[in-house]
Each structure stands twice: as C-alpha cells, then as structure tokens.
Amino acid sequence: MASSWREVVNRIDDYRWEIPTGYKPGMLVPGLVYTSEAMLDHIWQEQAFDQVANVAFLPGIVGYSLAMPDIHWGYGFPIGGVAATRVSDGVISPGGVGFDINCGVRLLRTNLTAAEVRPRIERLVADLFTSVPSGLGSEGKIRVSEKELDQVLVKGSRWALERGYGNAADVVVTEETGCIKGANPDKVSGKAKKRGIPQLGTLGSGNHFLEVEAVDEIYDLVSARAMGIADVGQVVVMIHTGSRGFGHEVCGDYVRLLGEAVRKYGIRLPDRQLACAPVKSAEGRDYLAAMACAANYAWANRQCITHWVRESLARVLQKSEKEIGLEQIYDVCHNIAKLEEHTVGGRKEVLCVHRKGATRAFPAGHPDIPDIYRDIGQPVLIPGDMGRCSYIAVGTERAMRESFGSTCHGAGRVQSRSAAKRSLQGSVVARELAARGITVKAGSMASLAEEASPAYKDVSEVVDITDRAGISSKVARTVPIGVIKG
Amino acid sequence: MQKDFEIIDHTADVGIVAYGDNISQAFGNAARALFSLITELDSVAEVVCRDTELSAVDEESLLVAWLNELIYLFDTENIVFKRFDVAVLPGSSLRARSYGEKVDGSRHRLKTGVKAATYHMLGVEKGNGCRVQVILDI
C-alpha cells in the first residue's frame, strides 16, 4: 500500500487529480477528483481515494469515477461521488444514491433586507421552529392515509400544490419540476410507507436545516438578477432536507435486494454496499421506480415546508406574502440517480448518472432547465455550515463535457460527529454564533456541536475549486442570520 | 473484563464493534450499541417488548437486517430498547425479544438519528467468542 497520495495520484492541473486504473486491479475507468493540493492529504488519510477506485468497478461505467472537492469518506460510494453508467449494459446502484434519497436544497428569495429582519430575527426563528416540525422523532402536521401517500409518491411537488401548499410557480423552478416520472408505489415496501406516513412535512435531524440568510457578495450580476437577487443585504431562505425515513427504508430494501442480484448476474464488487443490478434488469427497473417515489416524497416534503416558511415570515413581519416577495429561486437534489442524455466519445447516449452528494449543474440553453434560467444556466445551491456561508452558482458547458453536468453539493465533513462533540459544547457554539449575529435554535445542543464550523471543510474553498475548474460558476454568497437545526 | 461493544468514529458515519461469547450475544450487544447512540441506555426502562423473526442470505446480512429492523421499530413506534434476548439460528435466521419503552421527552434525551445499517466493512468473525462490525449511516 502506498504511503502517500503522491505515489498514487496524477496531477492533471491544479484542480484535477487522476487515480489511474492501475491503482486497483478491476477498475474499469480511472478516477478523477476535483480538489486542490492542500486538500489531498485529508482525502488520502480517510481512504476516500479507495472508495473512488471501488466505484470504478461498476459494470458499464463511462469516463471517470468522479469526486467533487467536498468528497469525504462514505460507505460504498464516497460522499461527493459521481458515476455515470451506460443504460444499455451498465448497472444502477442504490448505494450510489444513498439512504437519504433526494436530499436536496431549496432557496427562496424575498424583498426584505437584513436590516429589516434582524430586529425580529429571534421571533422569526422561534416561529419557524414551531411551524416546521424538526428533530429526532418529530412527527408531521400532515396526516395522510396509505392511499394518499401513494399520490404523494407519484405526484411529488404537485401533490403538495393540490393540497394548497405552495404556488404553481414553485414547481416550475424545481429540478424535474418536482416529480420524477416512472414512480411506482407498488415497488415500495409496506415498511417504507409506514415509516414515511408520520414523517411527511418534517425537517428531520442531523445536517438538515432551515436558514434565514442575507446575500453578502454578488459575483455574477446578470445571473443574480435573473434569480431575483438585486443587492447585497437581501434576505433569502434556504431549506435543506430529504425523504426522511421513507427514503432510508427504500434504500435499505434495495441494497439488500440488489445484493442478491449481484450474485444472480455474476457481478464482482470490492464492497457489498456497492450492490447493483443492470439498469435494464427487472431489479434495476424496480429500484428506479421506488427511488422515484422517494424523490417525489422529498419534493412534496420541501414543498410543504416552503408553505409554512411563507406563513411564518408573513406572520412575524406582518406583511403579506406578496409584499415579502417570497418566490422560489430553485430546488436541487443532491442524492439521486437520473437517466440523462450525455455526449460520450462524440456520440449522444442515455446514461444513468449517480450523484451521491453532488449537484446537477446543467449549462445555459439546456432543455431541462426552466425558461427563466435558459440564458444563465441551472442554479446550483451549495449550503455551507451554519457558522460560515452558502453559495449560489450556475451550471456550465464544461460540467456538461466532463462531469456529466455535475458539481459539488456542500462543504463536506472533516471531523466525525463525536469528535466535534468532544471538542465543542453546543451551548458555547450557540453563544459564539449569537455574538456574530446568528440566532440559532436546535432540537438538541448535541446537534449544534456536531454541526459547528470546525466539523466541516470551508465551503468557500470547495466552491472556489469547482469555479476555477469550470464545472460551476459562482453567482452569489449568503451568510446565515437565523438557523433552525433538527 | 471484555467490553460488550465499542463505537468507532468515522468522518460522516459511525461504526459499531460488538463482542460476545457467541454470535447471539454479539448480535444483542450490537443492538445495545445502536441504542446507546440514540439515547442513554440507563434512562430506559423495560416496559414493552417486541418479537422479531428474520432470515437472510448469510450472517453478515442478518446483522444488517437485525439492526435495520430495530431502527424501523424506533422510527415507527418511537420505542427505545435496552435489552435483547437474541437467538441466532442455523440457516442465517434469528429470533429475538427486545425490551424497552416508548420515548418520553422528559426522561429520554435523544442523541443521534440513525438512518440505516450498511454493508460497508461489515464483518462477523467467530473464533474464540464472536466479534461483529457494522457501519451505520447517521
């Protein structure tokens, strides 16, 4: 075993580092990690390169096994991993999507300024905390029957809209318009449904959050304007959550089922968590139909939360939603597999693109992005940790050419949760944030310590790498002023 | 005295190593390790019990299925468990009775949400006693 990344990784340029197929016998394609030299030591230490190499074993993988600069050790796939497989003879892997299917980010703009909101931020955070159920073991305010849950699974955001949660315009600016087609509730276990029913309309715990933020720097005025961002100081709201226990159960069910398919189809894998089946096989198609259900559940979830956020802001600021101008900028998923058309070796081909902790980043002019963003590219939403900042970017042609239209998804952890808890106290974290003008309310003090800044890479470093590598382009930076943690 | 279980740190996730004189005991200790992450075991009383029967293709998969079943019971019934009578049977199957109680916010401090048990670095080693290892997604 090599003792340093220097013996393994080839530098392509300052932001592209290749893991040759010779690194591990069985790799079908090389690995490509978007990162800086400064970050390589950490990636090497936690053996994330090995995971990038393992993904390169997946039958039908094309191009590279990719990793974004927020890469960190996962299980099976690294977090920050992207892998595209041929639909014709390649596989789909539930582990390449992850347990929190369609974990994603939604961003809402407002006409408010930070100066207007700050005097009421304590009340606003308290109101949001009670309006949006969060935390471990929390239950939603919505109760659906199993029959109605099936409608959620098939319709996604549109189900929420029909129930009066949100505006028709929200759906237009949601990836896949908030609904992946081909969802089949019959392919989902009863246990997943039972887990999903009480958790619909909840934020959850862990790294999920709701943030009131202020724009603090704009890099691309034209794109910012297209998103309704006019000036520094403007308030936006970010929602980060996914498909809750429903998605976890779907993933668990299919990792098990596809583990059996691996034997049936004689696929050789270096890690059982990479369990997969041919995209076109019955098992592969069933997973795609179940995954679509979970993705749609997540969109309905974020759509309901959006509605409560609007009500909460209107209540606390005593203005109408229209005056506040609470319009959705965009909604992205960063744990998903999609069938997409890409150009491989000069030929257009449908690929199954796995993004596990990576965001779609389609360029200007792509038919799958809404008309209002056709000239600027798809908005990419990249949350940082609660003490630093988050970014808005747009997709690029270069991403389309080399990363299957993908870029980073966040900061990426560097410290384990228990290490963070050992070195930090939740109450101290809250006090320090308050001193910097950030009001925080969390379900538990432990979760505050787990999610504090030192536990994460600096998201600015991550986003600068993707910007300089050209796979997404920075538009604006936001800083938190109010944070709700599960 | 040998420990019943250890928690291993990973950047984004957490691992469990559990020991026992035999596989049944190690599976029980792995379950205790799981609930030690969710809440303080000492705060849990034995008020309710749930019976589980499972089978899998091999013992490693059985461990994943066992822990996922407990996560499911916690998620759907809001029960935290502290004691487990487990019998791992021939043919990679298992019968268990788990004792615990419904979560009471005034007495139980919920710590970490566990999404699922994974197959990554999964292990069931038998020799002098039994050692099992599993990575959880949290």
Residues of A in contact with B110 (CB under 8 A): 135-137, 444
Pairing of strands A65-75, A91-92: unpaired
3-class SS at A447? helix
Q: Do B112 and A446 touch (CB under 8 A)?
A: yes
The H or E element that residue A106 is part of is strand A104-113
Neighbours of A222 (CB within 10 A): 9
Query: How far is it, in rounded angstroms, from Cα A284 to Cα A286?
Result: 5
The token pair that represents B58 in the structure block: 């091999």
The token pair that represents A405 in the structure block: 């239209």
| pLDDT on residue B20 | 97
b/e burial code for range A27-48 (CB count within 10 A of at least 16 → b): bebbbbbbbbeebbebbbebeb
Query: How far is it, in rounded angstroms, from Cα B16 to Cα B33?
Result: 7
CA distance to A114, A121, A388, per residue, from A215 (Å)? 9, 16, 13
Within B1-138, strands assigned E span 5-9, 14-20, 48-55, 79-89, 93-102, 116-117, 123-127, 129-137
| pLDDT on residue A486 | 80
Q: Is the model's pLDDT at A1 over the cut of 70?
A: no
Query: How far is it, in rounded angstroms, from Cα A305 to Cα A390?
Result: 20
Q: Do B111 and A79 touch (CB under 8 A)?
A: no
Beta carbons of A156 and A165 less than 8 angstroms apart: no
pLDDT (tens digit per residue) in B99-117? 999 999 889 988 888 999 9
Beta carbons of A304 and A165 less than 8 angstroms apart: yes
Pairing of strands A390-395, A347-356: unpaired
- Looking up tokens 């800086």 gives A36
Tell me, what CATH number does A432's domain have?
Answer: 3.90.1860.10
The token pair that represents B108 in the structure block: 């139980």
Query: How far is it, in rounded angstroms, from Cα A49 to Cα A9?
Result: 9
Tell me which amino acid residue A327 is: E
What value does the mean pLDDT of chain B take? 94
Per-residue pLDDT band for A151 (boundaries 50, 70, 90) equals very high
- Length of chain A in terms of residues written: 486
Q: Which residue of B has its CA nearest to A242?
A: B115
Tell me the CB-side half-sphere exposure of residue A4, using CA atoms within 13 A: 4
Neighbours of A444 (CB within 10 A): 18
Q: Is the model's pLDDT at B52 over the cut of 80?
A: yes
What value does the mean pLDDT of chain A take? 95
- Which residues are A379's β-sheet partners? A394
| pLDDT on residue B1 | 54
Percent of chain B that is helix, strand, coil (3-state, to 5): 30, 40, 30
Quote the percentage of chain B above a pLDDT of 90. Answer: 83
Within A270-344, strands assigned E span 277-278, 327-333, 335-344
Sorted by sequence, the CB contacts under 8 Å of residue B129 that are 6+ apart come out as B2, B19, B20, B21, B22, B26
| pLDDT on residue A440 | 93
CA distance B45 to chain A (A): 18
Query: How far is it, in rounded angstroms, from Cα A74 to Cα B122?
Result: 14
Structural domain includes residue A397 = yes
Boundaries of domain holding A168: 103-485
Q: A68, exposed or middle or buried, with CB in 10 Å at 0-12, 13-18, 19+?
A: buried
CATH number of B5-137: 3.55.10.10
Query: How far is it, in rounded angstroms, from Cα A197 to Cα A149?
Result: 7
Residue A191 sits at the vertex; the CA angle it makes with A189 and A194, to the nearest 5 degrees, is 120
Residue to mutate among B9, B10, B11, with most A CBs inside 10 A, is B11
pLDDT (tens digit per residue) in B87-101? 999 999 999 999 999
Domain ranges of chain B: 5-137
Query: How far is it, in rounded angstroms, from Cα A179 to Cα A239?
Result: 18
Q: Is the model's pLDDT at A266 over the cut of 80?
A: yes
CA distance B23 to chain A (A): 21
Largest alpha-carbon pair distance within chain A? 64
Quote the percentage of chain A above a pLDDT of 90. Answer: 84
Summary count for chain A: helices (H), strands (E): 17, 19
Beta carbons of A387 and A453 less than 8 angstroms apart: yes
Residues of A in contact with B78 (CB under 8 A): 137
| pLDDT on residue A121 | 97
Q: Do A137 and B9 touch (CB under 8 A)?
A: no
φ, ψ of residue B124 in degrees (nearest 5): -130, 110
The token pair that represents A372 in the structure block: 């209002």
Structural domain includes residue A213 = yes
Mean pLDDT along residues A174-181: 98
pLDDT (tens digit per residue) in A195-237? 999 999 999 988 899 999 999 999 999 999 999 999 999 999 9
Mean pLDDT along residues A371-400: 96
Q: Computed from CA positions of residues A265, A184, A142, A111, in that sequence, does the dihedral angle turn out positive or negative?
A: positive
φ, ψ of residue A239 in degrees (nearest 5): -120, 125
Neighbours of B109 (CB within 10 A): 13
| pLDDT on residue B15 | 93
φ, ψ of residue A137 in degrees (nearest 5): 80, 5
Sorted by sequence, the CB contacts under 8 Å of residue A191 that are 6+ apart come out as A249, A253, B72, B76
CA distance to A106, A119, A394, A478, A480, per residue, from A221 (Å)? 21, 28, 12, 14, 21
Pairing of strands B123-127, B129-137: antiparallel
Q: A257, exposed or middle or buried, with CB in 10 Å at 0-12, 13-18, 19+?
A: middle
Structural domain includes residue A273 = yes
CA distance A83 to chain B (A): 18
**Active centre residues of A (catalytic):** 409
DSSP class of A206: T
Q: Is the model's pLDDT at A138 over the cut of 80?
A: no
Query: How far is it, in rounded angstroms, from Cα A476 to Cα A466?
Result: 14
| pLDDT on residue A455 | 87
Q: Do A73 and B113 touch (CB under 8 A)?
A: no
User: In 3D, which of B73, B71, B94 has the Cα closest to residue B23?
Assistant: B94
Mean pLDDT along residues A315-335: 96
Quote the percentage of chain A above a pLDDT of 70. Answer: 100
Per-residue pLDDT band for A421 (boundaries 50, 70, 90) equals confident
Query: How far is it, in rounded angstroms, from Cα A486 to Cα A440?
Result: 11
- Looking up tokens 């504090």 gives A452
Sorted by sequence, the CB contacts under 8 Å of residue A434 that are 6+ apart come out as A440
Q: Would you list which residues of chain A are within 8 Å, Cβ to Cβ, of chain B?
A: 46, 72-76, 79, 95, 98-100, 135-137, 191, 194-195, 198-199, 204-206, 245, 248-249, 251-252, 255-256, 259-260, 271-273, 275, 413-419, 444, 446, 486
Distance, CA of A326 to chain centre: 22
Distance, CA of B12 to chain centre: 19
Per-residue pLDDT band for A141 (boundaries 50, 70, 90) equals confident
Q: Do B120 and A194 touch (CB under 8 A)?
A: no
Q: What crossing angle do the helices spanning A244-264 and A282-317 adopt, rounded to 10°?
A: 170
